[in-house]
Chain A
Amino acid sequence: MNSPKSTALVLALPWGATLILFWLFPLVYSFVMGFTDYRLLVADYQWVGWSNYRELLLDPDFRAALKNTFVFVVGTIPVTTVVALGLALLVSQGFKGRGIFRAGFFLPSVTSMVVIALIFTNLYQRGGYVAMLAELVGLSPPEYGFLYDRGTALYSIMAMDVWMSVGYYMLIFLAGLKAIPDELYEAAEIAGAGKLRQFGAITLPLLRPVALFIVVINSIKSFQVFVEIFVMTKGKFDTATAVYFIYSEGLATHFRFGYASAAAYVLFVIIAVFSVVQFALLRRREALW
């Protein structure tokens, strides 16, 4: 490895191999499988064309899974974003002990989802802490606990997710707040603008790219919600999500690899469309500046 060119090639080898073996190949393989009736332990398979996709459209389980995924994404992301911004604003100014608050708010984000899900399974159970709090404010908790009720299970998991991730996005908002030049606020002060006006005219518009970035990465993550469903409800009580459906059809019950792969591609396309739209929004905003 003496010429720079061969050095560059050797150095890029680990990533190149990972890219081909563990990203490109699975993506292509999965796409092809989606048009077959391939299953575990059945050696020969048939090409079935679009029939997996047609079946998916009519499968009530898949439709429910997509609906639950959308409820999850649409329900959590606005709340997470707003709460994260609020927390960032609360701890952005210099005051004693703010490091402790920042660390404390962020702590849940570095904890394992399995652990968090187990703790909340306990907190949400019949007679648990959350039920007690609900009774304290005059609400009657579900009879068998929050996770054993179709009306509350998914929303309880969503609330936990918001709780867990706000600290992470708070840190990103803090970086965005730090990047806003102080001179802008000073100029606004001189021009006689109040705090609220400054927030609306400087902070919010300048944070828009950061907020959109947060929404993009959070939606890519949230569309794939799985672990908390697996640990807390096993998809029961109307909580099965798209990845849970893929897992369940492909690797837990029927081992229908072809069918599950087709479902994965439907989810892939949905996520891709969402990301492209969000990026377009991001771009347009930048062009306006």
Chain B
Amino acid sequence: MVKPEGKLRSGIRYLALALILLVMVFPLLWMFRVSLMDVGSSIGMGRLLSGSVTFRNYVDLLGAGNLGRALLNSVLVGASVTLGNILFCFMTGYTLARFRHIANRLLFVSVIVVLMIPAHIVIIPFYVLMLKAGLYDTYWALILPFLVNPIGIFLVKQYVESIPPSMEEAARMDGAGELRILLAVVMPLCRPALAVLAIQVFFTNWNSFLFPYILTTSDELRTLPVALALLQGHQAVDWQHLMAGSSIAVIPVLILFIVMQRQIVSGVTAGAIKQ
């Protein structure tokens, strides 16, 4: 069936793809490699496959360095923000899908408008607001503003609209309260959409830098990306430790990426398909 020229063609295709793949993953491989090198050793170019392997740098950072605390903060803040978004995006998305009075229509417009607003332009008023509200340099500043997001609302609204309302109506007939219907009937049905939402929110939060950076100042409240960027500012720091710190930030993402690839991909394309 396979013609010789077809074989040649697919060979060329694989070669090209493999080259591109190398370009795309090399920087991350290099990060892992440098993170495992001895501090004294040169990080010369030929060192990708040879030279020492040590976990010393990781131990240093998580022990004496305050990256352990930053890791804990990132997990704590990431989990809180993700849980908040699951609940609040679900509530808002559900009400926008099911109750169609004028206030809800306005709310939906607000969701779309906010989706288009460039968030970085409000860093100054955000900073002043948090300062005046007494939330500057607290966990609240890292969590409170990010508990619900327009993309998540949009995702849930689309999903709820695809579910026929017959089950809710049946439950209502049986005399179930609205809260019970919401949490026991609709929410379980939305699990696929909520999984997509959760992974997206967690990644965004885990990787975010600007807001956590400007809204905190003490070392105890720094999240991983902030702690890493500040670590780089220290004169004495070496590449081996910097790359070990970077690896600590990447490894959880990598694991989630492998486990939840399907949900991540549908999160990316959910917005585009609507177009």
**Residues of chain A at the chain B interface (Cβ within 8 Å):** 1-2, 4-5, 7-9, 11-12, 14-16, 18-19, 21-23, 25-27, 29-30, 33, 87, 90-91, 95, 97, 100-101, 103-108, 110-116, 118-123, 129, 132, 163, 167-168, 171-172, 174-176, 179, 209-210, 213-214, 217, 220, 223-224, 226-227, 230-231, 243, 246-247, 250-251, 257, 260-261, 264-265, 267-268, 271, 275
Contact = CB atoms under 8 A, between A and B. Distances in A.
Contacts of A105: 20-21, 24
Contacts of B107: 12, 15-16, 19
A8 B95 contact: yes
**Chain A residues touching B, majority SS:** helix
Interface string B48-86: 000000000000000000000000000000000000000
B10 interface: yes
Rank and list the top 10 A-B pairs by shortest CB-CB distance, nearest first: A26-B125, A8-B99, A11-B95, A112-B207, A175-B269, A14-B88, A114-B225, A224-B120, A26-B122, A15-B92
A220 B209 contact: no
Contact of A101 (B17, B30, B178, B224): B17
Interface in B116-143: 116-129
A22 B110 CA distance: 13
B1 interface: no
B261 interface: yes
**Chain B residues touching A, majority SS:** helix
Contacts of A250: 123-124, 127
B31 interface: yes
Contacts of B257: 103, 107, 110
Nearest to A108: B24
B111 interface: yes
B246 A251 contact: no
A123 B118 contact: no
A29 B253 contact: no
Contacts of B148: 14-15, 18
26 contacts: A2-B177, A7-B99, A8-B101, A11-B92, A12-B95, A15-B92, A15-B148, A19-B107, A26-B126, A27-B125, A33-B128, A103-B257, A107-B24, A110-B207, A110-B264, A112-B224, A119-B27, A172-B268, A172-B272, A179-B273, A223-B118, A231-B232, A260-B124, A264-B123, A264-B124, A271-B121
